[in-house]
A = this chain, B = another copy of it.
Amino acid sequence: MDYQEAKYKFISTWGSLGTLWGINKAMAQIQALLFISPKALSMEDIMEELKISRGNTSMNLRQLIDWGIVTKVLVSGERKEYFTTEKDVQELARVIAKERSRREIKPVIKVLNEVSSIKDDGTSKTKELIKQTKALHELTENLDSLMHKMVNQNQNWLTKSVFKLMK
């Protein structure tokens, strides 16, 4: 496998994995491209590499910036904007975890809490609803806090987490 093939394979695989962390294909592919690029890229560069339109590139870059994963860099003497992504995988994971929690998990926890707090009218269906959503609420909150704990430990959270859990 040569460089071009490897690059293509990585970008498309990472792109389709986008769903796993809740972003769309183009967004994931732009991030992937920046991630393996030794230097910052311009919008032109990205459009060309990924064969996507200017509009698409612009919109998805903005989203990546909103996520805090991509930053603009100013190249002196150049008018156009250049972009880089966070290069440290652990920091990347940390940012993604934080954002997903904020955007998706936290709102769900809120709903589960509301739903599981309805008045028990004594019927079996109400009892079941309360019981099950309570359990789900607890689980979701625990997983969310576990994730935060792992990720906020320090630079070596993963190694430490693996180690602790093996004991």
Contact = CB atoms under 8 A, between A and B. Distances in A.
| Chain A at the B interface: SS class | helix
A13 B129 contact: no
A133 B19 contact: no
Nearest to A17: B108
Nearest to A127: B38
A2 interface: yes
A133 B3 contact: no
Interface in A82-105: 87, 89-90, 93, 100, 104-105
Given A37-B125, A146-B162, A19 B22 contact: yes
A7 interface: yes
B139 A165 contact: no
B128 A37 contact: yes
Contacts of A114: 1, 6, 9
A118 interface: yes
B10 A115 contact: yes
